[in-house]
Structures are given as structure tokens and as C-alpha cells.
A and B are shown apart, each in its own frame.
Chain A
């Protein structure tokens, strides 16, 4: 019998496995919030206590129980890094409802009960290289960040049933810059203070590389995909011009991916929201292997047939099941139709891992999550019908 891991490896190597692999619950970007998870627990009679990825309830993304993962036909399991022990302890001891401050000094504020949002930006006012150099950047050599990684990955590898998607919790350069400065401020600095913006991106990238190095050392060979990413798109277009991307951010991404590829044979799984169609040649060029989440409701990326035709031989796709309309508001029948359409378009020849476009959000009915994965099994069995 084909294992989930064999299924995923075939797909990401552009071969047809026995069926389209299913990715859910294995990272934040392919994760699930508590709403649908609680519904699934009720439907399945699961009673285990909730756990959250990164032990971070404020993020709200569930680490699903193995029983639920198996029912969802999930073919991938996640391995994560950890916040430094001191960061976890500080946040555990903080007053309830006070801001959650991460190891970088950026953080989230609770706007109303249980709703957290990035609201602490420690470099909001910075516009100079001195401000970057003077900032107390986090220590990426703290061993508590990766202390558990070797064991977690080795256990999954020994079990052998599932592909391993390893994700160090790094907002990478662009998104981390948003966290440090605020989205609008950093976007404005890209235009007004390009030298500063570039220096900030490279400073962050250096930290990310240091942690990635420790993370890869701990993983050894027990990893199939390394998940990184930066959101580059909007609903209709890009957050910056292709020219600006190529000038400022692409070299940062290229350097990071080259570093990863120099250290592991795992595939690079690149998460980037929005309509990034106009950057796909660039992403291929710098070594992206798997594109996620293929936001199928956005702009040109919504033309899945064209995306597959032009890039299907060079990129594998993970995602594409709409989370803005179909999963939250559709009927199970509409979810099945969406799954069928995505598989028919992206599945031929392999190269497709079925997943929701980003996290399955709180208002998605558990029935629709089950409809999604069951339809994936039904319509995703090769040879495709």
C-alpha cells in the first residue's frame, strides 16, 4: 500500500501517485483554526485536549490530534521550531489579555476576546541604518529553539507513513519587516527609503538564515519539504511592482533558497498569498519547487489551467481550494465541485497537493472540511477520471 510520504514524493517530483496527496494541519499556512476543529472533534467523537502549533494559542492554529489527521487523510506532518524558552516563559507569565511579544520584539494585541492582531511594531519609527544596527535582534543560536526538532523529525521518519514538512516559525524578510515596522510604514519605506528598507530586509534575512542553519542541522535527512515564504500578492495584483521585487526582495529570497539548497535535498515549499502570477518566472528561477497556497480566487492566479500549462512542469502546487467563498459559505456539494475542478486542472501528471488556500478559518463548517478531503480521495484517485 502506498504511504502518504510516497504519495507526496511522487507528486512533488511531477509523477502521478495513487491519488492526489492531501495537506492539512501541517503548518500555519495549511492549518485549521479552532472552529472547524471543534466541529470535527464533535463529529468524530474525539475528546483529547486542544493543542496549538508553536504552543501559541494567540495564533489560534490547531495542532490536530493524530486521530483527526488520519480521518482527514492528511499525508503530511509538520515539524516546527520553537520560540526560545525564555520567550515562551515570559508570555506564559504575562497578565491575561496583555500583548503577546515574540522573540523579535514585535507582537500581537488582543482587540477583543480571543482576537489577536499584529499591533506591536518596535521599529515603526526607524528610517536609518543606525536604527537597524542598534536594535536588539534576537539570538538565533539559542539551543531551545530547535532542541526538540531532531527527535520529532526522526520519529516521523521512522514511522515512515507521512511526508515531513518542516517550518521554522519565521516570518521571512518581507513579512517580518511588516511586523517590525507596520505594513504601511514598511511599504512606504520601500519607495521612500530604499537603502534603509533593503538593509532591514538583509538584516532579517541574516537572522533567518542563522536559525534555518540550526534547524536544518537538527533535521538531518529527515525532511521532505522546507516551508518558507513571504506574502507578495493582493487580491488583484502584487504588493509591489515586479521591478521593485526584482531589485530589492528577489535577491534576498534567492540567497535564502540557495542557502537551503546547499544544505538539504528537501524541496523548497514557498508560501505566498495573493495573485503572484506575474512573479512565477522569478520564483521558478530562484529555486522554488512547490508553490503555496495558489490563491485561486485572486486575479490571474485564478486561471488555474493557464498556471498549470505554463508552470506545471517546473512548479508543484499546494493549495487552490478557495477559503474566501466556497469553504466558509458553500454547501458540501459546492465544496466537492471545487475540489473536483482543482484536481482536474492541477492534478494531471502529478504536481498537485490538495489543500485549502491558507488556514481553514473559524467560520468554516466541519462538514465542509470533511467534504473537501473526501472529495479529494474520490476525485483524486489516479488515473484521473
Chain B
């Protein structure tokens, strides 16, 4: 009997080998793909919560996301076969003039963990590139990142350019070191996310998706103990 809680724990602990093994075992045991997927997203929710609470830090978050990605690679063909689609699609990038990408990458990882398909445009992305990517991909979310204060005008320019195009209801989320709620409002973004954990919460709120059910308390406790 495959215990999906153990799959969640393996991802939370960043144990990619175990996460893959348990995913393959779950598939072989004929568990419904939604349930396997649910265990993975629950794990990444827990990772995001712990990150926001300063219980884990960037290294642990990176290895959890990597374990999730490896496990997901095994599950993806099954999901496709079953016609299970991601919950939403996002386009993300670091705005022009800025090359810092760890914050943007962490948000992309956490969004993927929340079953949001992410099209990552990379760094130094111009307003034109954002607009073209939005037109081509019809996302539900657009994420803009910046670390340098120097690039804040660039973030404003991207939002202005996006507002001039047909966004088809896509919502704009901004974040990064010099960005705050007031700036997000001032430049016409839909929301500000303080960190990668918050980015998931904010994305779900904007998309009208319910928060993933919290894992049972006993599992969360054993997760901390295993660390």
C-alpha cells in the first residue's frame, strides 16, 4: 500500500529519489492521478507555509521544488492521458534592466507546485516581450519581478504596456526587493506578493481558487520531526 503522506513528506524533505520512487509506486498501484497530484501540491503548500514562517530557507525550498519537479515528470504523462490540466497558466519574468532571477525562479517553482503552468520568460524582459508572450499564451496570471531599485520604472512601463493590450482577464502580480503594496497599487498592478510563499496565496486569491486543504496536523508534526 502506497502512503501518499510519505510522498508529501519526501517532497517536503527534498528527497527527490524517494519522491520519484513513491510516485512510481503510487502509479503502479493504480491510485487516481488526482490523489497523487494532491499529495504533491499539499507538500509544496507546506513548504511555502514553512518558508513564510522562517522555518525553512531558500536552500530547503529549492531542493523541495526539485524533488517535486522530478516526481511530477513521472506523473505528467498520466495526467495528460487522464485529461487533467493545470489549474491556470502564468507568464513570469524579471523586468528589463534587471538580471536577478532567484526570486522569480522561486515564485515559478512554487506556482508550478500549485499546479499553475508557468511560462518563464527569463530575465531582462522588455515590455514588448511581455506583451508578445501574453498574446501568444493567453495566461491567467502575469508575474513581474525586480531586485534593483533602478528597474522599478521598467516595471511600471511593463504594466502600462500590458494595460494597453487585451489581457483577456489576466491578472498582474508584482514582487521583488524594492516593491511594496503601495508601489504595486501606484503602477496599476493587481497585487503584490512579498515572497514565493505569498505568491501562491495571492495567485489563488486572484484566480478564485480555494486554498489547498492543509495537511493533517499529525503529518505536519512528523514532517518537522523528520528534518
Q: Enumerate chain A interface residues (CB-CB to B < 8 A).
A: 111-112, 115, 117, 119, 183-184, 187-188, 190-192, 234-241, 244, 323-325, 328-329, 361-363
B14 touches A234 (CB 8 A): no
Write the nearest CB–CB distance from B149 to chain A, whole angstroms: 5
Contacts A188-B63, A188-B66, A236-B194; A241 near B56 (Cβ below 8 A): yes
A238: which of B57, B99, B194, B195 is its contact (CB, 8 Å)? B57
* Chain B positions 186 through 201: 1 when the CB is less than 8 Å from some CB of chain A, otherwise 0: 0000000011000000
B177 touches A363 (CB 8 A): no
Contacts A191-B14, A324-B177, A361-B150; A117 near B99 (Cβ below 8 A): yes
A191 to B59 Cα, complex, angstroms: 6
Residues in chain A near residue B58, CB distance under 8 A: 187, 234, 239-240
B102 touches A184 (CB 8 A): yes
B14: which of A192, A236, A244, A363 is its contact (CB, 8 Å)? A192
Residues in chain A near residue B60, CB distance under 8 A: 191, 241
Write the nearest CB–CB distance from A99 to chain B, whole angstroms: 13
Q: How many residues of B contact A (CB 8 A)?
A: 23
A329 to B178 Cα, complex, angstroms: 11
Residues in chain B near residue A238, CB distance under 8 A: 54, 57
Contacts A111-B99, A235-B177, A324-B177; A190 near B150 (Cβ below 8 A): no
A191 touches B62 (CB 8 A): yes
Residues in chain A near residue B195, CB distance under 8 A: 235-236
Whether a CB of chain A sits under 8 angstroms from the CB of B145 is no
* Chain B positions 8 through 43: 1 when the CB is less than 8 Å from some CB of chain A, otherwise 0: 000000100000000000000000000000000000
Contacts A115-B97, A183-B102, A184-B62; A323 near B57 (Cβ below 8 A): no
Whether a CB of chain A sits under 8 angstroms from the CB of B148 is yes
B150 touches A362 (CB 8 A): yes
A241 to B124 Cα, complex, angstroms: 30
Whether a CB of chain A sits under 8 angstroms from the CB of B129 is no
A328 touches B149 (CB 8 A): yes
Offer 20 A-B interface pairs, CB within 8 angstroms, sorted by A.
A111-B99, A119-B99, A183-B102, A184-B62, A184-B102, A187-B58, A187-B59, A187-B62, A188-B66, A235-B177, A235-B195, A236-B54, A239-B57, A239-B58, A240-B57, A240-B58, A241-B60, A323-B149, A325-B149, A361-B149
Residues in chain B near residue A361, CB distance under 8 A: 148-150
Secondary structure class of chain B's binding surface, majority of residues? loop
B175 to chain A: closest residue by CB: A235
In this complex, the member of A244, A324, A328 whose beta carbon has the largest number of chain B beta carbons within 10 angstroms is A324
B178 touches A244 (CB 8 A): no
B97 touches A188 (CB 8 A): no
B106 to chain A: closest residue by CB: A184
In this complex, the member of B57, B102, B177, B178 whose beta carbon has the largest number of chain A beta carbons within 10 angstroms is B57
A119 to B178 Cα, complex, angstroms: 22
| 17 more CB-based (< 8 A) A-B contacts, given A234-B58, A237-B57 | A111-B99, A111-B124, A187-B62, A188-B59, A188-B62, A190-B59, A191-B60, A192-B63, A235-B195, A238-B57, A240-B58, A241-B60, A324-B149, A324-B177, A324-B178, A328-B150, A363-B149
Residues in chain A near residue B177, CB distance under 8 A: 235, 324
A325: which of B59, B178, B194 is its contact (CB, 8 Å)? B178
9 nearest A-B residue pairs (beta carbon):
A117-B99, A191-B59, A324-B178, A188-B62, A187-B59, A191-B63, A190-B59, A241-B57, A328-B149
A328 to B148 Cα, complex, angstroms: 11
A115 to B154 Cα, complex, angstroms: 14
A362 to chain B: closest residue by CB: B150
A275 to chain B: closest residue by CB: B54
Write the nearest CB–CB distance from A110 to chain B, whole angstroms: 11
B178 to chain A: closest residue by CB: A324
A244 touches B102 (CB 8 A): no
Residues in chain B near residue A240, CB distance under 8 A: 57-59
A241 to B105 Cα, complex, angstroms: 20
Write the nearest CB–CB distance from A35 to chain B, whole angstroms: 9
A187 to B62 Cα, complex, angstroms: 8
A57 to B60 Cα, complex, angstroms: 37
Write the nearest CB–CB distance from B58 to chain A, whole angstroms: 5
